[in-house]
Amino acid sequence: MSNLIDRRAPENTTPFVTGLADAVLREIAELLDTLIETGETGIIDLHSLPMTDADRDMLKEGLGEGEVRVDLDVAGPSRIEETGTAGVWWVRHEGADGRIAAELIEVTRIPEILLSHPDDIREGRTRLREHLDEAGETGTEELAE
Amino acid sequence: MTKDRTLGEHMSRRGISRRAFGKYCAYLASTMALSPKMAPAMAQGLAAARRQAVIWLSFQECTGCTESFTRSYSPTLEDLIFDFISLDYHHTLQAASGEAAELAREQSMEENKGKYIVVVDGSVPTKDGGVYSMIAGHTNVDILASTIENAFAVVAVGTCAAFGGLPYAKPNPTGAVAISELVGNKPLINIPGCPPVPEAMTGTIAHILAFGSLPELDDKHRPLAFFGESIHDRCYRRSFYERGLFAKSFDDEGARKGWCLYEVGCKGPIAYNTCATTKWNGGTSFPIQSGHTCFACGSPNFWDQGGFYKSLPSRTSSIGTVAGATAAAGVALGAGAALIAANRKKQYSKET
């Protein structure tokens, strides 16, 4: 039975350049104009575009390689890289199994997910205060002994 | 968890930062074809929401929908949904049984009056007074009526609940009906599929939590984000369809070369679902990618369409035309998807 089944993967049906990389690069250029002139940030969802591998390579080549690379460990890994075009970030979120959950181009000074959230800062302060209070009580007890 | 605590507070106490909300909503926005700029607002909404009470009713069903729901792909990211909801009643998953189980349902209904969501899988038998499926001495008709009375919304998961499914197939010996026949004017979302794609179920519930409202639906009450396009529209084999290259049987040269499966009975052109993009088993594949046809398992009457391997009557009817060249087809599909996404973006902008 098993020799009757062709286990080869289907032939690659899209090894061509669709022109999407060029369209995305032009959109990025416009988003950079907006960022410079008004400070408004922009995002493009790459996951929703039917890009081929060749398109993706063209897009990467067009943006170049930058100098900042950040790895996050938040509900699975994420990699955030600034491209060679300053202000243009390539954000890739994965689940724990390595599957891409979201892939975005962010046009901004820094992607929002890198900033500490005010609620997390408040929670951190609370924990630190509690720790200091506990340490203070222990220290007082030790001194009393 | 304490019921008056927000999800943000609840997760924070478990050492999960707001970045996880941001990442989850970036994933959700991408899955639902929403503007990625909405992700921060969604994360904010989700963090401020209270845990959602959910009562899950199982009627004439096979538990496949539950199997699918509990196998959302990622052990971390997608599993967040199980922290966001309080599953107060579910035959297969709850520890309680008998009267204690029914009491849990009644308590949740009382404590969350007007706020809880009722998820239903399975159709409801109505013949002979509904005696063909009963729970704790009550017919499915009665249980559904009493449970949805004070619900915020009803979510019918699976084709049996959404359209009748297998129990409704000819000759329908139990007089099975879809949930839509029994909910009156109560807000209803249908998430069909046999079983439904897990992300369509979890994404819809997360949307309700983040926005406090139902997602945009089509005329069959299906969320457009997951059911707005046909399998054919998004099929990677579509370029072969455009060029007239078809497999004629499952082991011929065309099948081996990965050509279009239309002539061996693929129902992709009439199937509205998200399998071709979201895929199954952690994004591994979907039936057509694995060499089989699409059954249109999320469509009404899919069991009675004249045979899973019988080709659709016409190759041109109800199927959109795109440029013949493969490259042009790719760009045209992309443009169409972009247009749909843009329209959704506009509609959501109005809502929020």
In a domain, B340, yes or no: no
Q: What is the mean pLDDT of chain B?
A: 85
Q: Is the dihedral of CA B317, B322, B324, B326 positive or negative?
A: negative
Is B205 part of any domain? no
Distances (CA, A) of B195 to A101, B78, B79, B229, B306: 22, 18, 18, 18, 21
- Interface ipTM: 0.81
For residues B57 and B181, membership in a common domain is answered with yes
Q: For residue B38, which residues of chain A lie inside 8 Å, CB to CB? A: none
Confirm whether B56 is domain-assigned: yes
Which pLDDT band holds residue A17 (cuts at 50, 70, 90)? confident
The CATH number assigned to the domain holding B312 equals: 4.10.480.10
Q: For residue B19, which residues of chain A lie inside 8 Å, CB to CB?
A: 72, 74, 113, 117, 120
For residue range B23-46, what is the model confidence (pLDDT) as tens digits?
989 988 888 878 888 898 889 998
Sheet holding A42-45, edge to edge: A42-45, A100-107, A88-94, A77-83, A65-73
pLDDT tens digits, one per residue of B53-78 = 999 999 999 999 988 888 765 545 66
Q: Are residues B216 and B253 in the same domain?
A: no
DSSP character for B42? H
- Note whether B66 and B58 are within 8 A (CB): yes
**Which residue in B40, B80, B331 is closest to A112 by CB distance?**
B40
Question: Does residue B96 sit in the same domain as residue B219?
Answer: yes
Predicted pLDDT at B140: 97
Looking only at the bridges linking them, the beta strands covering A88-94 and A77-83 are antiparallel
Same domain for B70 and B164, yes or no, is: yes
Residue-level pLDDT at A95: 79
Residue contact B18–A119, C-beta within 8 A: yes
| B147 SS3 class | helix
Nearest CA to B32 out of B316, B299, B340 is that of: B340
Q: Which of A68, A56, A62, A59 is nearest to A108 (CA)?
A: A68
Q: Are residues B292 and B185 in the same domain?
A: no
Do B242 and B223 sit in the same domain of this protein?
A: no
Do residues B282 and A99 touch, judged by C-beta distance below 8 A?
A: yes
CB B181 within 8 A of CB B162: no
Cβ within 8 Å of A, B 246-305? 251, 255-258, 282-283, 289, 291
Q: Across the interface, do A13 and B236 touch by the CB < 8 Å criterion? A: yes
Confidence (pLDDT) at B155: 97
Residues in chain A: 145
Q: Give the Cα separation of B120 and B142 in Å (integer).
A: 14
In chain A, which residues have their Cβ closer than 8 Å to the Cβ of B330? Answer: 14, 16, 18, 50, 52
pLDDT at A46 > cutoff 60: yes
- Structurally, chain B folds into a number of domains equal to 2
In a domain, B294, yes or no: yes
Domain residue ranges of chain A, discontinuous segments joined by +: 18-110, 115-145
Kindly state whether residue B328 falls inside one of the protein's structural domains: no
Residues B89 and B222 placed together within one structural domain of the fold: yes
B286 shares its domain with B187: no
Mark whether B222 and B273 lie in a shared domain: no
Distance CA B121, CA B182 (A): 14
pLDDT at A37 over 90: yes
Provide the β-strand partners of residue B260. B246
CATH hierarchy code of domain A18-110: 3.30.1370.140
Q: Are residues B75 and B182 in the same domain?
A: yes
Whether residues B75 and B222 fall in one domain:
yes
Top residue of A7, A45, A104 to mutate, by most chain B CBs within 10 Å, is A45
The pair phi, psi for residue B142, each rounded to 5°, is -70, -45
Which has the higher per-residue pLDDT, B264 or B306?
B264
Say if residue B216 is in the same domain as residue B278.
Answer: no
What domain range includes position B248?
Answer: 238-321
Band of pLDDT at residue B320, cut at 50, 70 and 90: very low
Q: Which residues in chain B have Cβ-Cβ distances shorter than 8 Å to A117? A: 17-19, 22
Mean pLDDT of A10-29: 78
CA distance B92 to B48: 30
Determine the pLDDT at residue B110: 96
Give the separation between CA B257 and CA A9, rounded to whole angstroms. Answer: 9
Band (pLDDT 50/70/90 cuts) for residue B327 is very low
